Chains A and B, each alone.
Chain A
Amino acid sequence: MSLTPAPVLEAARLRLRGPEMRDFEPLAEFFADPERAWGFGGAETRPDAWRWFASNIGHWHIHGYGYFTIEMTDRARPAGLCGIWNPEGWPEPELGWLVFAPFEGRGIAYEAALRARAWAYEALGFTTLTSNILPGNARSVALAERLGARYERTYRNVTLGEDMLYRHPGPAELDADGGMEAYA
């Protein structure tokens, strides 16, 4: 059953849809693996993961946006999360992502982030977006840069501590596919 007013967004290999209860187990597994989850933060225990999952649903109801679940077109197991995140205390609305272990290394986060960013610009009317990346999270830095984002500043995040803020190109700087090919 749908838990949020989230739309379904189609991309070439995947779709983004609102969170559903079947997404909780893979998300709890992700949060339970400190090596993978440290760069995302948010939940240290299974009850914390449940709270975070519930908060994301509420985030959708409060803001009209939040984290989508990434689903491959076969609609089998969820592949990760991607969306726009803006709880109180956040510096600005953030384009965020995480990919579950079996789906790593296939460019899924890149494709999902492009789609979510295009939606935020086209449907929500955002004129800019940031991504918050913990120092040392080289993979997320690489993805942010591939998305055309540039390091802007380091700041103290309300829950994660020292954190880097990357700024994405605005809607006017992107080509029709939502990418940065013109600048490559």
Chain B
Amino acid sequence: MTDIPVIETRRLILSAPRPEDYPKFKATFTSYRARFMGGPLNDYEAWMLYAAEIGHWQIRGFGMWMIHDRETGATCGMAGGWQPAKWPEREIAWVIWPEVAGRGIALEATHAARTHFYQEMGWPGAVSYLDPKNYDSIRLAERLGCTRDPEAASVDGHDVVYRHPSPEKLRNSQTADAIELELQSFRGPIFGQREEATA
């Protein structure tokens, strides 16, 4: 069986999805929040999707991590790689539970996942398939340095393809600096103050 690595960031721990992590996944995917991800799903569909998240790791050797808050251990969402049948390319994907949105968790987790795929698994790049009405995700893709790729094949014609910068392009880039700066800004109780004071 595939050993699923654990990734630690400043505020988060990304680890294998476990059975006990399911409740908030279910709450999100059976709600209106899931409208850009094929939902809302019924109980059976949500459970089968969660089981498929676990199966995906075993089949592909990569997949979606469960995101945990370092302090509390609570789950915050999922981020990682996703390529079920019919996906033209390897996708970097994310979903954040609605109650923890707005704290830069998706950026921190997705950036860490992408760094792992680039540095540990040798990915030459990746895409994200986004609903054109999902402005929050499009905005996150742009913060991650993605640009829309109108030439790339989409999953089903209803999604738009955002292409991630390659590892070479990302290294020492303005995007990489901007991601670091933004993540630092989420650390202190007053955004940025603590970082500057100790710099």
Interface set of A (CB-CB < 8 Å, partner B): 1-5, 21, 46-47, 49-59, 61-62, 87-90, 158-159
Q: Main SS of chain A's interface residues?
A: helix
Highest count of chain A CB atoms <10 Å: which of B1, B45, B58, B86: B58
Whether the Cβ atoms of B51 and A89 lie closer than 8 Å is no
Alpha-carbon gap, A1 to B2, bound state (A): 9
Alpha-carbon gap, A106 to B99, bound state (A): 55
Chain B: how many interface residues by the 8 Å CB criterion? 23
Measured between beta carbons, the chain A residues less than 8 angstroms from B49 are: 51, 55
Whether the Cβ atoms of A57 and B54 lie closer than 8 Å is yes
Whether the Cβ atoms of B1 and A54 lie closer than 8 Å is no
| Chain B: minimal CB distance from A60 (Å) | 8
Whether the Cβ atoms of B43 and A55 lie closer than 8 Å is no
Task: Given A4-B1, A47-B85, A62-B19, decide whether A54 and B56 contact each other with a Cβ distance below 8 A.
Answer: yes
Whether the Cβ atoms of A55 and B1 lie closer than 8 Å is no
Whether the Cβ atoms of A54 and B86 lie closer than 8 Å is no
Measured between beta carbons, the chain A residues less than 8 angstroms from B44 are: 87-90, 158-159
Measured between beta carbons, the chain B residues less than 8 angstroms from A88 are: 26, 43-44, 46-47
Alpha-carbon gap, A1 to B46, bound state (A): 27
Q: Main SS of chain B's interface residues?
A: helix
Measured between beta carbons, the chain B residues less than 8 angstroms from A90 are: 44
Measured between beta carbons, the chain B residues less than 8 angstroms from A1 are: 1
Alpha-carbon gap, A158 to B51, bound state (A): 17
Whether the Cβ atoms of B42 and A55 lie closer than 8 Å is no
Q: Which of B1, B48, B85 contacts A87 (CB 8 A)?
A: B48
Q: Which of A47, A52, A54, A87 contacts B59 (CB 8 A)?
A: A54
Measured between beta carbons, the chain A residues less than 8 angstroms from B26 are: 88
Alpha-carbon gap, A88 to B19, bound state (A): 12
Task: Given A88-B43, A89-B42, A159-B44, decide whether A3 and B54 contact each other with a Cβ distance below 8 A.
Answer: no
Alpha-carbon gap, A134 to B154, bound state (A): 37
B91 at the interface (CB under 8 A from A): no
Measured between beta carbons, the chain B residues less than 8 angstroms from A47 are: 84-86
Highest count of chain A CB atoms <10 Å: which of B43, B50, B59, B86: B59
Closest 3 CB pairs of A and B: A58-B51, A54-B55, A57-B55
Task: Given A50-B84, A51-B85, A88-B44, decide whether A3 and B1 contact each other with a Cβ distance below 8 A.
Answer: yes
Alpha-carbon gap, A53 to B53, bound state (A): 11
CB pairs A–B below 8 angstroms (28 shown): A1-B1, A3-B55, A3-B59, A21-B59, A46-B85, A46-B86, A50-B86, A51-B48, A51-B49, A51-B52, A53-B55, A54-B51, A54-B52, A54-B55, A56-B55, A57-B54, A57-B55, A57-B58, A58-B50, A58-B54, A61-B54, A61-B55, A62-B19, A62-B51, A88-B46, A90-B44, A159-B44, A159-B45
